[in-house]
Structure 1
Amino acid sequence: MAEAVLFITSRNYSSWSLRGWLLCRIAGLPFHAESISPDDPRVKEELLMRASSIRYPALVHGDVKVWDTLGMAEYLNEAFPAAHMLPEERQARALCRSISGEMHSGFSALRSSLPMNIRARRPGFRIWTGPRGDIAAVNAIWEDCIARSGGPFLFGAAPCIADAMFAPVVSRYVTYDVAMQGACRTFADAVLGWDAMQDWMRDAEAEPEEIAELDIEF
């Protein structure tokens, strides 16, 4: 079988592409990433959160094409069971799926007010009421999971699907100077030190494209 291809958009701006990348790395899938130009109007609509559906990242693995990060997560979990992309215990698996789905479809105020921008730093960024509520809810999820598992990742010593889903939020917290302590700091440090995340951030720093609407000074 030919090496798999993961089609992504921007490393700097696309939280969905980051999730797809991390999922493939957790699975141990041999793959290479191909970037779709942010100049493509459909891609730009997705990055600016104006698209009604998200078509990237998309994974081509042999005769299988799968997109949407939850679809990719379930496919990779089935294709690579030895990777243990979901926790072994049934209750933990249910929780992992639930919080991954919640991240996939929720926290819209956080998404829109604090878009991912790995290269940027906004010290003292003013966070409005809507995203503050989302941040509190995300932090509560992290604290609960770390209390249950012992960390440093959400379900124990190794990253799983939920960690890939929440990793872009860690990046947003760094960009927008969101305070982290306790279990949240433990999780953030684990994500930021994760080899796959380090590789992605390095490439994001080197990415040449800039999107003016996402690089404005708030």
Structure 2
Amino acid sequence: MRIIMGNKRYSSWSLRGWLAVKQSGQPFDELVVPMMTDEWWEKKADPALMPSSRVPTLWDGGTAIWESLAIIDWLADRYGQAAYWPVDGAARAFARSIAAEMHAGFTSLRSQCPMDVLASYPGYRLTDDTQKDVSRISGLWAEARREYGTNGPYLFGSFGAADMMFAPVVMRFRTYGVTLNGDAGIYQDTMCSHPWVTEWCAAAADEPADWTITSYADLAAKYV
């Protein structure tokens, strides 16, 4: 397998797809393309590399899969549903629902707090709409932990697809100084220390300095 991704510093969707491939336990290669560069626009236009012009794109042999949820489901079909989704029906329904809600929603959080795993903005001022997104997410985390997560430290006990989908949100909360309480706060700390998340962040720190996207810092300056 081979996964095509954007910068590890910034690409939230790439993090989701990468975690999904790591969870498969299978060997894979990765290609990181620096976002907003000439190389980025060139590779996005190559259908042999990115048929949808999006990252992440997973190539499994000659089959291309894009969109993080599609990648998760492809790998779950091939390497075992239980590695990605809860076995219990009610838990699985809740996990799929919150993963889909993350995929489609929380637009204010995405817009005001783009992922930047190397930055830190304590005292960042959230808009009312972004704060509503934070409250909704923290409530979902607390409910998942309370109802379905008693057999392990992640949303549904063991690490799975829902955790993959929310991993970039955990990174956003850390970057923009969002501190949560109770079960949601404990979960946030657990995810930040997951070995694959720390591996991702270490790789982001090793990316070339000229891959920096200055517009992200310019946006943050408006709210600090």
The answer to whether structure 1 residue 93 and structure 2 residue 95 are counterparts is no
Partner of 1:50 in structure 2?
Answer: none
Matched position secondary structure for 1:215: helix
C-alpha distance in 2, partners of 1:143/1:172?
Answer: 18
Shift in alpha-carbon separation, 1:153–1:124, aligned structure 2, 3 A: same
Q: How does 1:47-62 map to 2 (within 5 A)?
A: 55-62=54-61
Q: 8 Å contact 1:125–1:176 — kept in the other structure?
A: yes
Q: Aligned partner of 1:13: which letter?
A: Y
The one-character-per-residue Cα deviations of 1:125-150 (angstroms, maximum 9, x if unpaired) are 11110100000000010000000122
TM-score under structure 2 length normalisation: 0.87
Q: Which consecutive unaligned segments of at least 5 residues does structure 2 have?
A: 45-51
The one-character-per-residue Cα deviations of 1:158-190 (angstroms, maximum 9, x if unpaired) are 210000000100100110001112111221122
Shift in alpha-carbon separation, 1:166–1:82, aligned structure 2, 3 A: closer
Partner of 2:12 in structure 1?
Answer: 15
C-alpha distance in 2, partners of 1:119/1:57?
Answer: 20
Q: Which consecutive unaligned segments of at least 5 residues does structure 1 have?
A: 45-52
TM-score under structure 1 length normalisation: 0.90
C-alpha distance in 2, partners of 1:135/1:43?
Answer: 34
Instruction: Give the drift of 1:60.
Output: 0.6
Partner of 1:202 in structure 2?
Answer: 202
The answer to whether structure 1 residue 36 and structure 2 residue 33 are counterparts is yes
Q: Aligned partner of 1:207: which letter?
A: E
C-alpha distance in 2, partners of 1:106/1:29?
Answer: 31
Q: Aligned partner of 2:57: which letter?
A: A
The answer to whether structure 1 residue 110 and structure 2 residue 109 are counterparts is yes
Instruction: Give the drift of 1:23.
Output: 0.8
Q: 8 Å contact 1:37–1:43 — kept in the other structure?
A: no
Partner of 2:213 in structure 1?
Answer: 211
Partner of 2:181 in structure 1?
Answer: 181
Partner of 1:119 in structure 2?
Answer: 118
Matched position secondary structure for 2:34: coil
Shift in alpha-carbon separation, 1:43–1:136, aligned structure 2, 3 A: farther
Q: 8 Å contact 1:23–1:161 — kept in the other structure?
A: yes
C-alpha distance in 2, partners of 1:43/1:195?
Answer: 30
The one-character-per-residue Cα deviations of 1:45-97 (angstroms, maximum 9, x if unpaired) are xxxxxxxx871100111122100001101100001017621101111111111
The one-character-per-residue Cα deviations of 1:88-120 (angstroms, maximum 9, x if unpaired) are 111111111110000000000000001101111
Range with bigger deviation, 122-131 or 184-193 = 184-193
Instruction: Give the drift of 1:30.
Output: 1.2
CA RMSD of aligned residues (A): 1.7
Q: How does 1:162-173 map to 2 (within 5 A)?
A: 162-173=162-173
Shift in alpha-carbon separation, 1:134–1:35, aligned structure 2, 3 A: same
Q: Aligned partner of 1:126: which letter?
A: R
Matched position secondary structure for 2:142: helix
Count of aligned positions: 206
Q: What is the aligned-residue identity percentage?
A: 34
